[in-house]
Amino acid sequence: MAPGLIAVVLHYGSLAKFAELARNAHPGWLLPALGAQIGTYVFAALSWRQVLHRAGERRPFRTLFRLSVAKLYTDQAIPTGGVSGSILVMKALNRRGLSNSIGMAALLVSMVTHYAADVVAAITALGLLWLHQDADLAALGLVSAFVVVEIAIPVAVLWAKSRASDGQLPAWITRLPVTEDAIEAVAAAPDELLRDPRLIAETFLCQLAIILLDSLTLWLVSRAISAPIDYWMAFCGYTIGDAVAMVAPSPLGLGTFEAGTTGTLALLGMPVEAALSATILLRGLTFWLPMIPGLWIARHEVSRL
């Protein structure tokens, strides 16, 4: 059974709650929230387009936008810090004539800037909590663990690329299952793209824009249910929830994010019931609503690989 279908079965209660909340929500706030989510797909597509243009490879924006829907869905369904969705996009572009080396470079740039944006957002959220005297040792420990994981993964991949390019990779790594082919693909990625500061800055801003738009979505849905909060609170709620989901991943990425976001909003003074309702609405817009097109596109692309 596909991950999306499993999610529907296991979390039917939250899906039904989302539908109920959406029916009762104020459309004047809910429609802009939907627009903010469409914006996340636009910036995801732009981040890949920047890399491809810099490499001299141009693909129709509508294709990249379509793949971005599948990417963000896949990232939600298979929580791997953005890697699963990036691999799907890379394979889909390979099928459309993009070379493995350029595709891998695009994946690496996307991965590095994705993690960098996550780290900046998490540290900023912790700083905001500290300024408002809501930071504690638990928040510090969570963000610290999140930052360590987010930094360790791209550093390890880039270290492996550097060593593989020089032929100095330890032998025990190459003996790991399916590692040899992956390392060869990583080593073949052109260093020029990874060392282009302008490209890194542009894709980083695209990744950061996605986080800000997701936070904006939470801010808007809180108003849709007549429980308004400040934007900085929505930003902290979304970012801490994302950190919890990364440090303590759950099947399909559901449960831990809701707990982290709801708990953070409640800590910041939002009534628990309203915080949970806003989180469910956010989750509905980021996961449930794009599930059908995201699942269909992902299955279509996988079936043609």
Fill in the amino acid letter for 108: L
Q: Which residue has the tokens 């996307």?
A: 110
Burial of 271 (0-12, 13-18, 19+ CB in 10 A): exposed
Segment 208-251, tens digit of pLDDT: 999 999 999 999 999 998 889 999 999 999 999 988 888 876 65
| pLDDT given for residue 118 in this prediction | 93
Cα separation, 260 vs 108, in Å, equals 28
| pLDDT given for residue 77 in this prediction | 63
Specify whether the backbone of 167 is left (phi greater than 0), alpha (psi in -120 to 50) or beta: left
Per-residue pLDDT tens digits of the chain, which is 305 residues long: 344 444 443 444 555 666 677 777 788 898 999 999 999 999 988 988 898 888 888 888 888 888 888 877 777 666 555 566 667 777 788 788 877 778 778 888 888 899 999 999 999 999 999 988 877 788 888 888 888 988 888 887 777 777 666 666 666 555 554 455 556 666 667 778 888 899 999 999 999 999 999 999 999 999 998 889 999 999 999 999 988 888 876 655 567 888 889 999 998 999 888 888 899 889 888 877 777 777 777 776 666 66
Tokens of 124: 């900023």
Alpha helices in the chain (DSSP H): 3-10, 12-24, 27-54, 61-77, 83-95, 100-131, 137-165, 171-174, 179-188, 191-194, 197-224, 231-247, 256-267, 272-283, 291-303
pTM of the model: 0.83
Q: Where are the domains of the chain?
A: 3-303
| pLDDT given for residue 185 in this prediction | 61
Q: Which residue has the tokens 């469409």?
A: 38
